[in-house]
Chains A and B, each alone.
Chain A
Amino acid sequence: MSALNGFEPKIVAYVCNWCTYLGADLAGTARLEYPANVRIIRLPCTGRIDTNLVVKALEIGADAVLVSGCHPGDCHYSAGNYHARRRWILFRELLEVVGFDTRRLHFTWISAAEGRKFQQVITEITEQTRALGPYRPYESPALPPREDGAARPAGVLEKNFEESRRELREAARRLLEEGRVKVVIGYGARGPVFITKPEETGRLEWNANCLGNLTVYLKRPEVRALGAAAVVVKGCDERALVVLEKESQLRRDELQVIGLACEGLGQAKCEACETHRPSFADITIGNTAAQGATAAARYAELERFLERPREERLAYWTAEFDRCLKCYACRQVCPMCYCERCLADKNRPQAIDTSTHRKGNFAWQLSRAIHLAGRCVGCDECTRACPAGIDLRLLNLSLARAAEIQFDYRAGMDPAREPVVGAYSLQDKEEFIR
């Protein structure tokens, strides 16, 4: 079909300087012809190839993208390609869920001696892409709004908050009186409160409205300026502390953690919660008989979603992302988004367009999701904060599921585990890499 129409696919190849680029060079000097459809972009190492570069290629009209580098064990920088491999495993999962056509995304190891392999790979990719036709993911129709799907059940288990509330206030008062902390970050009547005086601990609340993840304040400069802190966490919030400590963002011994046992506050995440009682707090208040959930329960929603055809998935996310306002509420509420300057705010170069057109919104949403891969603890604050009701929970679940299935890793559950991104294994699966 496409050949008749004279469709010439545009392929963007991000290649590493030390292997694949020299392999391509070798193909040239050995006069091994390969299609001119490929635009080669040379970077020092596959480890440097940010996933938003892949997205950028699609934004500017590539019909397929190749990422290629040194064979495992041969990386000029020792381990760049191992890091890249791990990142690609997660990224492909994300793109699958979002409904991108992963047949358009190719990964290979091509060494400096493999000029022929380079020729073969480019030729095959070009032919495959020609058969698939032009790729226009940003022109997908958006799924129209539907009335179906009931709002999430708001049931809150019958519980007695009162006793825990008393204990909480008492614990906070003691910490302040003894001078062990200068500020207690806790829930107030309407939102977070920052209690600096023992006589004000009566403002601390514990009830069904205590939804925020207060660990986000541990990196805010205005809060840090108040001095040594105690932070009130539910089990879901506590996971963020585990990740933050792992990433050297806080000194656990400089922080007092007041944990609250929680049976659920009626949020979607509560249905599959297994951290009803914080495990790593200095002071743990309350008890709960609630049980943990299974992996099946954790990802049930996502599994159901993945049964939908790819075009419908893309139409769904197109509708979701079209509503994005770039308010960055999702980023600001996230304890893991602690960069002093976010990639989205960088303009030399403008890696992620600030505009709310489709490409700009996809770029942001995909970047945010992948930057949280293996780090997001599923507190769902981003979902709650989003004024446009974007299904961030489902997006985050995709990467959480990928991390668990591929690497048996769940962010924030076990302080002893090495993180997923930032670490790698020589055994990481690479059946998708040629």
Chain B
Amino acid sequence: MSQRVSKEELRQRAEAWIEAGKMVAGPVRVKAGTVLYAPLPTADALLLDGWIRPANSIKEFVFPRHEVLYGYSVGAAGITLHETEPEPREQVIVGAHPCDAAALPILDKLFNWDYRDDFYNRRREATTVVTLACAVHDEECFCTSVGLGPAAERGSDVMLFDARDGAYEVRCLTEKGAALWGSDVERAPANKPMEAAGPERRFEPAEVAAFAKEHFEDPFWHEHALACLGCGACAYTCPVCHCFDIVDEGNARCGVRARNWDACQFALFTAHASGHNPRPAQGARQRQRIYHKFLMYPEKFGEILCTGCGNCARICPVGLGVLPVVKEICHAESV
């Protein structure tokens, strides 16, 4: 049996979660022209329509940009390490996109293979994702090319479908979602209500993987990366990019060891102290991005490291991004 919730009621629920002490995040217009997922100061700040998608992703709520791993202090007894992370607050993401929610099960694989990363797991456990199925898309979206779609359920605990009459149809997909909503778990019905047609499929991921494998040394990568300026905007706005650095910050008496986001596009990312750099040119670094997303991660974890959200292409100041590069690959293959 399907439930409905009006936009107003949704805001009221969000307000109730905020009052209950949860960290509630959702799309917020932080300033004119910029919509980001951010903690909601009040439920009124929640932006439910009038935009394609936020310029960032929800990964920062389970994998923060800067996360203290532990602290150290130096005293008479030597060096003591301190656990600094309290239990994370319960978090609710309201108004996530399917391409953001689907990132979480994809990232789960990396953060739990062999060694369980409990910094990530603790936050993941504490997070409930309420996803808004997409009613619109733009030309940068390509979720349907990577096995997702405007109503894809992966990673979502509750799914809301825009009934286009000021209300949403609600489906609680998991125990966690049902517990948050105060309802029962309901697998989605055979026909998804109000499912918008997503973007048409633009390419086959397997072909991209094959190209990357067979054309590792190809000058293609260098030609097509000439415009790339080597910033980290694509990696940082990506829902699934997860590379990080570990730094010590502090002085002789005390400090912390923390991890910070890092990106394979930076020139120094793979630079050795000896001066040798396995990826000295931007072309090699662009190649790594595609290789990691479409070949390495699928081979290792059975997942494409891309959800087709289009953030990279929208933010790239020089018009690159996964889809533009993949289009060039398909073009190169067909010639």
Direct contact of A and B (CB under 8 A): yes
Interface flag for B245 (CB, 8 Å): yes
- Write 26 A-B pairs (CB below 8 A) sorted by A numbering: A145-B41, A150-B32, A191-B320, A192-B318, A194-B226, A194-B227, A212-B318, A217-B227, A220-B226, A220-B282, A222-B282, A323-B30, A327-B263, A328-B231, A329-B232, A331-B231, A332-B231, A353-B249, A355-B249, A355-B258, A356-B65, A360-B66, A387-B55, A388-B55, A389-B30, A391-B31
The complex places the Cα of A399 from the Cα of B66 at a distance, in Å, of 30
Interface flag for A246 (CB, 8 Å): no
In chain B between 3 and 31, which residues have their CB closer than 8 angstroms to a CB of chain A? 28-31
The complex places the Cα of A387 from the Cα of B263 at a distance, in Å, of 15
On whether A216 and B233 interact (CB within 8 A), knowing A145-B45, A329-B317, A387-B55, the answer reads no
Interface flag for B56 (CB, 8 Å): yes
Interface flag for B315 (CB, 8 Å): yes
On whether A191 and B319 interact (CB within 8 A), knowing A222-B226, A222-B281, A355-B66, the answer reads yes
On whether A357 and B66 interact (CB within 8 A), knowing A144-B41, A192-B227, A223-B226, the answer reads yes
Which residue from A332, A356, A387 sits with its C-beta under 8 Å from B56?
A387
Q: Which residues in B have their C-beta under 8 angstroms from that of A354?
A: 245, 247, 260
In the bound complex, do residue A216 and residue B31 qualify as a contact, i.e. CB atoms below 8 Å apart? no
The complex places the Cα of A389 from the Cα of B54 at a distance, in Å, of 11
Interface flag for A146 (CB, 8 Å): yes
In the bound complex, do residue B30 and residue A145 qualify as a contact, i.e. CB atoms below 8 Å apart? yes
Residue of A nearest to B268 (CB): A345
Q: Which residues in A have their C-beta under 8 angstroms from that of B283?
A: 222
The complex places the Cα of A353 from the Cα of B263 at a distance, in Å, of 16
Interface flag for B237 (CB, 8 Å): yes
Interface flag for A309 (CB, 8 Å): no
Interface flag for A104 (CB, 8 Å): no
Q: How many residues from A make CB contacts under 8 Å with B?
A: 47
Rounded to whole Å, the gap between the CB of B237 and the closest CB of chain A is 5
Q: Which residues in B have their C-beta under 8 angstroms from that of A329?
A: 229, 231-233, 315, 317
7 tightest CB-CB pairs across the interface, nearest first? A191-B319, A389-B34, A190-B319, A332-B231, A329-B231, A327-B232, A385-B317
Rounded to whole Å, the gap between the CB of B320 and the closest CB of chain A is 7
On whether A191 and B32 interact (CB within 8 A), knowing A144-B41, A329-B231, A356-B66, the answer reads no
Binding site for A on B (CB under 8 A): 28-34, 36, 38, 41, 45, 55-56, 65-66, 222, 225-227, 229-233, 235-237, 245, 247, 249, 258, 260-261, 263, 266, 268, 281-283, 315-320, 324
Rounded to whole Å, the gap between the CB of B229 and the closest CB of chain A is 4
In the bound complex, do residue A190 and residue B324 qualify as a contact, i.e. CB atoms below 8 Å apart? yes
In the bound complex, do residue A389 and residue B31 qualify as a contact, i.e. CB atoms below 8 Å apart? yes
Rounded to whole Å, the gap between the CB of B40 and the closest CB of chain A is 9
Which residue from B28, B30, B33, B41 sits with its C-beta under 8 Å from A152?
B33
Rounded to whole Å, the gap between the CB of B322 and the closest CB of chain A is 13
Mask for A116-150, Cβ within 8 A of B = 1, else 0?
00000000000000000000000000001111011
Rounded to whole Å, the gap between the CB of B138 and the closest CB of chain A is 14
In the bound complex, do residue A332 and residue B316 qualify as a contact, i.e. CB atoms below 8 Å apart? no
In the bound complex, do residue A387 and residue B45 qualify as a contact, i.e. CB atoms below 8 Å apart? no
Q: Which residues in B have their C-beta under 8 angstroms from that of A385?
A: 231, 233, 315, 317
Q: Which residues in A have their C-beta under 8 angstroms from that of B32?
A: 149-152
Q: Given A332-B231, A385-B231, 5 more contacts at CB 8 Å?
A: A150-B32, A190-B324, A220-B229, A325-B236, A345-B268
The complex places the Cα of A417 from the Cα of B263 at a distance, in Å, of 40
Rounded to whole Å, the gap between the CB of A213 and the closest CB of chain B is 9
In the bound complex, do residue B229 and residue A216 qualify as a contact, i.e. CB atoms below 8 Å apart? yes
Residue of A nearest to B282 (CB): A222
The complex places the Cα of A341 from the Cα of B38 at a distance, in Å, of 33
On whether A327 and B317 interact (CB within 8 A), knowing A222-B282, A388-B36, the answer reads no
The complex places the Cα of A350 from the Cα of B225 at a distance, in Å, of 30
Q: Which residues in A have their C-beta under 8 angstroms from that of B319?
A: 188, 190-192
Q: Which residues in A have their C-beta under 8 angstroms from that of B233?
A: 325, 327, 329, 385, 387
In the bound complex, do residue A222 and residue B222 qualify as a contact, i.e. CB atoms below 8 Å apart? yes
Which residue from B31, B41, B324 sits with its C-beta under 8 Å from A149?
B31
The complex places the Cα of A381 from the Cα of B229 at a distance, in Å, of 12
In the bound complex, do residue B318 and residue A191 qualify as a contact, i.e. CB atoms below 8 Å apart? yes
In the bound complex, do residue A146 and residue B225 qualify as a contact, i.e. CB atoms below 8 Å apart? no
Rounded to whole Å, the gap between the CB of B95 and the closest CB of chain A is 15
The complex places the Cα of A341 from the Cα of B233 at a distance, in Å, of 19
